[in-house]
Chains A and B, each alone.
Chain A
């Protein structure tokens, strides 16, 4: 580690900063060095750029929806345009933003480093999965340019197969293709976690972020093929008039719902489990404390992944599904609430006697706990069969899943991006603005979605272009909140971009956090570690050792000694 020694003596004020040395960003130059890279960190950057574009595209669709709903009459756009807006908002956000978000960006960047490896097990497949994602996105963009699709992101049959006149097949093919990206990423993570852990890194010494991604990957490889086949069946029925789902052709429309939700409910856990992994890292780093109940948090991720596969029928309580099947699905849905509750309580208990610092990533983490709690509790309302009859397909459902998807997954994503930004880019962002943005996102989010619980119980159905007058006040509140939220999302875009050029240089470990990623320079070198690290202690061992991670001159291999 001679380079380390050299730089600490140089004018570089940030110890462990690698911007002026060789790192994964400046190791090679030119566009092809990025487009043909097999470096997991560079691939993570490719994903970061593309999913950020997708996020703002999906956000633009949402803005259209919220503007239309300011007034009870459908007066801003016509009904078909409105139906396209909410459909494409859903498709973009679910399939092209949330599902890849944390795994493909943070997971890709961090999992090899966290387990002490040079790269993922299959670096070329990792690059391939980005290209597959891009191909899927390209099909979807073509569908958009040809006028979009208006089936709802759920593609319910026989509407999608026999009645919609929009680009169902193009959009479906886009989703079908992008599914393989998800499968390959999951496969890569599972093999990497099994085979490439550093000496001494036993399963129960792994960071909980890695555990969460392991559970997520299981869902990705077991669930995604089912939705891929289902979407393909929709395309086949639409093209060839083969009777699969359309009763006029002898098919069963409810079969589609079973197949679709068999994946799409677990897909919710694909979106939230990695967020839970981020949470465990944030909470421990900003309390400088071992996580409370490590094993329980780790195992609860697996429990959520397994039980999450058995709850899909709770989307079908009013479809005419058998009452007794409904009861089983209801009971299992309540069961899956328990491991989530266990995580929330364990994170809360971690704060006890901690050294809590309220830096911006921690603000997102605290926001996550609150919003995820509300999202989880309102899930109980919907798992309750007698209540779900009334709430099904109303705005109550919309509010509930946005508390999980935005309040949970996006809060974790933003918290994680801020937390690891210095590691990824070698630059610090302006903390003041990060705190302002975190507060605004929290306020804007609640103002957007809390009124939707109320208007949902009043009976306002989802996907309504026009609505009765008495729902207007709550909808105006929601639109006001969405405006605030939209602005709040732009602030991090601005200061994070600014920080790339003018941010303070980041040290190796700006937060004083534990974990192998904080023992190497920021940004890391192409192969992450100079020597094979050896792990001698459990994760989050803040009480042991003496600030070795603060020592910029300490060679990585000894950082954990």
Chain B
């Protein structure tokens, strides 16, 4: 029963977000603040993860392609598609569920427990619109950008690892990158990143906004938000792949 009431409350929360702001300027400021928190705040970890994932992909692909009949440029082609289709959107979003999602849940949870949300409510501020909507919009704006950065850095990291370890030359890697390139893969990755961004921000906001109790419950809500987001991201990943790649 809890799962149904949770789904109901989640849907009501989403519905409650869409009301007219009291002061558009204040909401705009909050949106920019959240863009900085989610975008700039997660840039460091996204950079590190992307470079290393790209590097590891190149080395592992080269390790598996032992046949002399397969040209070395195939390594770049495999790395490119793996990073664009899966690693950049899915892996980065799972990491972002931990970084940005837990931050959103704990921030809202702390505000709820310390009565800051009640204080806003009594002032006449529509708390769902003011606190949740800017976070979701910021995630929808910043996470796809982070995914694009992750794609670029991942491929660059792969090239760097391949060239520096002597697996593949720079020219071969660049040639492989252009080989059978389908622009739909980038479009598909972006569609996934929008869906994942919504999941990360709205699930975290839900668990944070409805926290009851104290510090311990904030921690639990934060953990639950990350776990549920990760599961939903993987589920959505499967559904989107099955629908969009098949149709293509």
Say whether A associates with B. Answer: no
Chain A positions within 8 Å of B, measured between CB atoms, are: none
Instruction: List chain B positions with a Cβ less than 8 A from chain A.
Output: none
